Structure 1
């Protein structure tokens, strides 16, 4: 139940031609406290509730528990979520022995595209495709729970 992942910005849309799947995701948060976020998600034709714990010092690992629920239950829970529902497409791309999940955001986060890769160990090596940009692992502003409260459209460089 420990999730180990690294996050990267995406610098081109070349990943789309390599994708093996594309799924719409709508998600909200019942709680965005960094110590314990509670997420509700509709991913394609399935619903999920997920609890995530606080990240470790590097931002690569944290507790994660997820349970599949019906779309009807997820839809009802989304109505109870904090302000800032996220809408995105998720593309899955196999690169070497790993699968990258690339999220292309819409709505208040349009223009932001983030790739995540889940690992078995924090020091595990992996291939980096040409479309992968700078690493943002551990940068809280890129967490979905934070994007729901402080969307990309409001960021000032």
Structure 2
């Protein structure tokens, strides 16, 4: 069984409009993820990212969290998936190279449409602080718990999203 833990340092932004021509040359990955357990500082999720199946345990909140990932077979994923009913997120992810970073642009669908977010992972907290996001990003929501995928999965779009 393949398993590893590492610190995830990530910032997240709302995207209100995608620049023309940004997505056309790119092929998105379809992502479905569901949550098996949620606590204030720990979550356990399973994910199908374009046919790659994983279980992830995330601990902590905000910019820096400990992430432990375990590879799953499709059979294991399919067995666990029904347990995530009512706690799911489905989105298309476009990875975009931007200077020395990879931006993950997520277009949510289903009940979370028309939400669009941009996530960027970093090697260090210093690098995360120095990062200047592209001009098509809007409000930063790194520390806003309403925009965590786990909370989106359980509670849907944040009420204030309609006001953006």
Give TM-score scaled by structure 2 length.
0.86
List structure 1 runs of 4+ shifted beyond 6 angstroms. Answer: none
RMSD: 1.8
Measured after TM superposition, the shift of residue 21 of structure 1 is 3.9
Which residues in structure 2 correspond to 1:146-157 (within 5 Å)?
A: 146-152=151-157, 155=159, 157=163
2:85 pairs with 1:79: no
Paired residues in the alignment total 153
Matched, 1:5 2:10: yes
Per the alignment, residue 107 of structure 2 pairs with 104
- Structure 2 unaligned regions, length at least 5: 1-5
| Structure having the larger proportion of residues in helix | 2
Aligned partners of 2:88 and 2:154 also within 8 Å: no
Deviation at 1:7, TM superposition (A): 0.5
Matched, 1:128 2:136: no
Q: Which moved more, 1:68-77 or 1:7-16?
A: 7-16
Cα distance in 1 between the residues matched to 2:87 and 2:21: 26
Indicate conservation of the 8 Å contact 1:140/1:146, yes or no: yes
Name the structure 1 match of 2:3.
Answer: none
Q: CA deviation at 1:131?
A: 1.5
Using structure 1 for the length normalisation, give the TM-score.
Answer: 0.89
Task: Give the secondary-structure state (helix, strand or coil) at the position aligned to 1:134.
Answer: strand
